[in-house]
Structure 1
């Protein structure tokens, strides 16, 4: 906590514009002026500008009396005086000079026995007015007045700490009556009960302390306390309705606990201790990094944020397959393009307390077309480069059982690359985890689907013994790449809970539009290739041998849609083109496991949106309509939409509940049934018999107070006066 020192200036951008205007004015008059000519500062540093013909100008500083600061301060003087300020100047071109004043004095308060006279004797450290004169040949040309009012800096008595106050368990350790003391060994602003605040600190915010209990101030007792009202001014009903409660019993009891502490003691045990089995060191779980014997990450080149990372950790039970592109202008000399058997045949921690070594096998690639994508040749043949034993691919197979790795095999593919100039090399890296000899299929949840995981689909594979299993596959949508054409487009799996729309473009000519049946069949084939499955898994971890874990995919054929909207094709126009594939997934929340909702797929429907394709020859481009082989691009799209099925666990409402709302407490502001809540069956604070008895006694007291109170006494007095 410190007094913030700041200097009052005009806005910088406006000042620069004003200085530029003053420069042009001063140059025309061949004089010098200060801009601004009067300043007020509360900081130890202040700056101004001297504008005009600054050649041969000298600056002089002196202290003037405050009476001379109203309006003009009299004629400036070229006689310098000794002050606590230092004046410096910096030329800004040929017509401007930046003048800066700095106070040579410490801005800390003097201690009680402080012998240093350079400190501040009081909170107001400096008060005075300075005059800066610009002189040429001993004659003053312009003057600047600076009024300074500077306060001392206040530092905390103890060194600050970034640690926050640790609130202990209030059962064993009292918290104390100062909840606004949030920072350890530092004075908190406006916290008047903070013991770290000195008297000087408290003077700064003594009148602005935090109010209420959180500021350490005890709130006054409420009006409903029996101890607040006296018998003189209390109403007649007060003795029956006031509350008798000690002041310590308030909503802030847990924050201001001041009772005795309890020392925890271990209780006696008559059972013999149970010795647990030894736990294996560094047990692997799904997603944990694989370690070497030196507890370092085992790394393989992988992709991260769209780029290849050479030293990326390998996660247990996480398969991957990536391609990395590298531009070569010379032969590589370092990993991962140049690898040695000693660097690859390493020993890893198997997760079961032992180790496992990598078994390396080399293969030589004779066909380099999958690895070389582009060559940039030069005219000279003398620059031909030949690189031998370049690592083209690293394929790892991890064999696992339980929480450990039982074996690792690595197939390294090497080859010889020859090129002129440069070549773009594509290297391939992969890792698969095999349980025995079967590749592990990644799950999309356990058991329910998790958002962002692939939707699992399957095809029924009927075996010879009349038992069937499901062959796992995926549901895909379009993934356009490079030019966005359908011929180069790829597929991407549908991710659970993520709505998506994508597509590609298909070049169509006038000749294609004359064969509409063939065109519809071609588009249908392209769209059907995205979804080859007939089943979809209900959960994210289905059983491949249990058909009850799967749901049939509902497919609306294109022929059905065309028959319902049959329109005869015309020349250069085709109707009923299934250009849009719509996937709808209905899911249901089936509970929560470890705080994560478990969602289940109940239905999946695939339908098609039909469109009409015709060539557009407007805008001056008539070539597609003239040339039968000229093409135009038509979009083919696919989308997926996830629909949540609402859960309604309440019984259906009767007609009386729907229409009659007078006594419905959930839909009516006034709830009459809750008027006698303590004596109804809904009140469970105490036995029903006791609450009924107390309610009857309370009603009796109300009747007695009404009969014996002031209204009846006044009636009896009026009756007696009338009788007399």
Structure 2
């Protein structure tokens, strides 16, 4: 019976999470409650499930259960709450769903030799028990959740070291992580077979399309010229003399980045148009299979096929793309894809798991169309001026997938009004991105260091989950009339300096309401930055505080006393300046890895004064007060040489550049300190001088005396 229970509990939690929202409507209409999933196997200290249905008067109870020795059953659910090692919490999600969380209130480390505390594990299998969570209305059980907890103790090294220091391995021959293609935290990256977040079902989708080489976490093969590769059977006679013996660190494949194999289309006659057959019913999606709508049609987005844009090109599962299409407009478009309606784009797509998902459409209106259009020839006099409203400029799809199905689809439709006296070339953009996980999954800004152009990651501490909730740092992005009430916010991108602002209408009153004005400006500036932490690197761990650092806030001119008069208000934080100090810590695959060392928010105080134009009778009713924000990135230089000592700085006796007498030049032409003529000529002249010296020595006084003695003996 224990094996049967373990089999039931080992069902994958991810499959049940997909079906959570499909059960909401069913259980709500029946006025019942149900746990989803009903069985959970816990291998960690936290468990999450959902209670669906009419949860208004439902209470929860927790107890420990065990199978009966005679019947094998665990008994009927009970509303009696028992004391356990687990903490039960719940969180309301909407009107018909409650998130249930179980957290183990016990440490999972081994007990030390002299440790007497009971809050530790005495053996490797720390927790082995079954829990039952019961949903009750009054004293009547309505639904139950069974949890099989099998948790092992955590093993820590004897010398853990300082948590504040990060040990970076040698970057010459290995990346900073065992899986460089793992770019998204806690989700499965497509074609990254070494990603620990990918389940076995996910790996089956792209097992034959894994990223090769070091970027994919695979060891590159040794080249053919290595002596260790060739054998005596297939090597030529000359190979032992010309082969190369080199360590694996010098593998030439290190640093290469593979995008996968590409298929070159075969050209054919243009009049042979391929007939697209009707799509077959889809039970599940695999990589490359077309996505099907609810009415058994291909889900299509404009794409490039054989170099040309095709409006009805099917979208393939797990295949990202981004294309641009250029259309010459002499009149306003009337049909798709340049004229679309949200109702036509909100299609129902088969999820691949027996259900369907609806495309959620969000509109984005742009006023500046310079990046989308280019003007051509002028229109004829008979033609009317182009005034095209709500022209579709871009369609950006995001497909969220899990397992072999699609969990959600979002679409951002960019529209704008086209006004021109000439014919224009309209450039429209279309993209599709597949993201693993739920709709809240967010990509990182680097792996591990920040990459230029990626958002700066910030966050706030969640005391309940003891983790960081991700957020972003923003500055003003004025649109339309430039007022702060209509201004938007844009995310601060790493390495991109920027300055922006908006205008705040201030009414002319006597005396002015300075406290209200200061409070309003302070709240507007504070809305840009709601975080208290910033990530040091581009792939931070939300549960590790060493990957985060505090944001410091400084108010300039704060020591000056605020003096308000009948026509002025002082001490207004009108300018917010973000200073980011970064440092290059190394290279990964030839890409610099940058790390944020400090982030400081500075507020500059200013004074507002009434603009009356020379008299109170000329004062305007409304005056516009500017509020600005800026961001500056500062690179910290890397010091590669040790500082010079006082002796090296002051000792100039042998320095030919700072001393009139250069002693090394006395060794001319042996040394290279003399730069009056080329070194080759100096060496030749020196050899001639040496030859002359030897000749003079031979023909000088010693040899003359020897010759005189020789002649006297001969006589």
TM-score, scaled to structure 1: 0.40
Rg bigger for which structure? 1
